[in-house]
A and B are shown apart, each in its own frame.
Chain A
Amino acid sequence: MIDPRSEALYQETILDHYRRPRNKGELPGANARATVTNPTCGDEIGVEAIVEGGMIRDVRFTGQGCSIAQASASMMTDVVRGATVGAARRTGEALRRLLAGEPVTRDALGELLAFEAVARYPARVGCALMPWRALDRALQTSGNPAP
């Protein structure tokens, strides 16, 4: 007997990215990188990217953490690879709005809508956003202004 709320949170998409994370590991040649830690639990997500001409050519992540943070990092790398810096930031902002319960264009989120149930768990919203904070910080270090 599975609790229906837990099931909504731990959707198969999230569990799949947690069990088989995409784009995990260091990225040789990265020119943008940042690490964000969650001081309350000690979890850590690092993001490394190659940014050229305002475009995220490649991106990978490192670190350990809960399923929400790991799946979010994995999905994020899928979503932003090949995107412009500006588009990546807009997607991150859309996810933040979704989890804060603010109005948002759902179409902009695609696969990331899997995290919608996280909004009901205030203690876990930070887990889902941690990789995006790391990406945002990494992009600030790349020296490539948003187009």
Chain B
Amino acid sequence: MRERFPLLAANPGLHYLDSAATSQKPRVVLDAMREYYERDNANPHRGAYALSVRATDCYHEARAKVAKFAGLADADCLVFTRGTTESLNLVASAWGRANVRAGDEIVVTAMDHHANFVPWQQLAREKGALFRIAPITHDGQVDLDALGGMLGARTRIVAFPHVSNALGTVNPVRAIATLVRERCDALVVCDGAQGAPHLPVGFDDLGVDFYAFSGHKMCGPMGIGALLGRRAILERMPPYQMGGDMIEVVGDEETTWNVLPHKFEAGTPNVADAVGLGAAVDFLEGIGMDAVLAHERALVAVADERLRGLDGVTVHGPAAAMRSGVASFTVAGIHPHDLATILDERGVCIRAGHHCAQPLMRRLDVAATARASFYVYNDESDVEALVSGVREAQRIFDGHVARG
């Protein structure tokens, strides 16, 4: 698998364990983007000449592929964005501003990434709505009883992650959506940044109103992502940004909007990155998303066992079988940044910090954790390098002779 990723093929000693931040890119994705620019590049949707038609076709084909990958039958309900952050801000700005009133309530979870936390917090402040944070259990899962107790007649939005970026916890999306529907008439927004790259999404069966993800975490290029929504909601929602492509007729005083998805895609679209994302989902489907998840879980189970075998190491979150390929851990007496530096010298790339989830870190009562995240190109040699690097850090810091 490594040889299909040029960066990894060129760096045989590199143990890249930060795919939850961004994945490496397979050659087929890089080739697809290059071919688009070398063969099909023009501004799409102008249609006056054959090359522009080809560019338009490339863009539509990419949308169709990504929609199918995510289990969305109506591809026009997939809006291309810059990524998850823009997708979530789009919903908060366009739907939130038009629909949230003073006294309404917005519910998020304590494990949300800042991108699915701050837009709702600020919307609530702007509108005089109540911003509520559903707690997590001691092992890092959403506390469904507590969440259910927060839902009521004033709840307008419920936002939560498919998979926690900091812990890897896979949330029961369908169960949460059902719980919300039973208790209130709220918009259900799921942050899929860590979901779509690692497991089958099946949007049409999830029961959520919106689902957002980023291309660069799933073998695609940076700068492209998607927002999937229900048609009835997208059609009633005001536009997010104004400009070319998103209009129907522009009068001197008034303007009417283009149909979905163009209404939410102002300006020249990012065709090359959409093509790259299309190639990325082809690549992932070639492996199979069930196989991707099974591969990650097998590695993370080994990592958990090996890390927990070391003195002073705590792995946070639920059991490996309930997580994606993320191991978030702390080592007694060693700050995650020091750990990351020592690992880096051994070619092991991990993330150290709060993972853009400061509310979660406060609840875990840690300032930061070290996070190793596994993907399709990782294998047990990466786990070995990680564990031996942690032991090395322990030797430097306290002369521990670690077990395991």
Contact = CB atoms under 8 A, between A and B. Distances in A.
Interface of A: 2-3, 5-7, 9-10, 15, 40-43, 64-68, 121, 123-124, 127
Nearest to B333: A19
Given A15-B397, A41-B353, A6 B392 contact: yes
A41 B368 contact: yes
A6 B358 contact: no
B7 interface: no
B252 interface: no
Contact of B353 (A5, A10, A40, A64): A40
Interface in B379-404: 392, 395-397
Interface in B323-372: 334-338, 341-342, 345-346, 352-354, 358, 361, 367-368
Contacts of A43: 337, 367-368
A41 B361 contact: no
Contacts of B335: 65-67
Contact of A42 (B338, B345, B358, B392): B358
21 contacts: A2-B396, A3-B346, A6-B341, A6-B392, A6-B396, A10-B342, A41-B336, A41-B337, A41-B352, A41-B353, A41-B367, A42-B367, A43-B368, A65-B367, A67-B334, A67-B335, A68-B337, A121-B341, A124-B337, A124-B341, A127-B337
Contacts of A9: 341
B367 A3 contact: no
B396 A42 contact: no
B368 A42 contact: yes
B352 A5 contact: no
A44 B341 CA distance: 19
Main secondary structure of the interface of B (DSSP, over half): helix
**Residue among B361, B368, B392 with the most chain A CB within 10 A?**
B368
A15 to B, nearest CB: 7
Contacts of B345: 3, 5-6
B392 A2 contact: yes
Given A41-B336, A41-B337, A124-B341, 8 more contacts: A3-B345, A6-B396, A10-B338, A40-B353, A41-B353, A43-B337, A66-B337, A127-B337
A82 B239 CA distance: 62
A10 B342 CA distance: 10
B353 A42 contact: yes
A121 B396 CA distance: 17
Interface of B: 334-338, 341-342, 345-346, 352-354, 358, 361, 367-368, 392, 395-397
A42 B342 contact: no
A112 to B, nearest CB: 19
Nearest to B388: A1
B267 to A, nearest CB: 30
B114 to A, nearest CB: 11
Contacts of B342: 3, 6, 10
A-B pairs with the 9 shortest C-beta distances?
A: A66-B335, A66-B337, A41-B353, A42-B354, A67-B338, A6-B342, A66-B338, A10-B396, A3-B345
A68 to B, nearest CB: 7
A42 B334 CA distance: 15
Contacts of B352: 41
A68 B338 contact: yes
A143 B352 CA distance: 38
B348 to A, nearest CB: 12
Contacts of B397: 10, 15, 67
B354 A41 contact: yes
Contacts of A3: 342, 345-346, 392
A68 B336 CA distance: 12
Contacts of A123: 341
Contacts of A64: 367
A42 B358 CA distance: 8
Contacts of B354: 41-42
B26 to A, nearest CB: 27
Nearest to A9: B341
B384 to A, nearest CB: 15
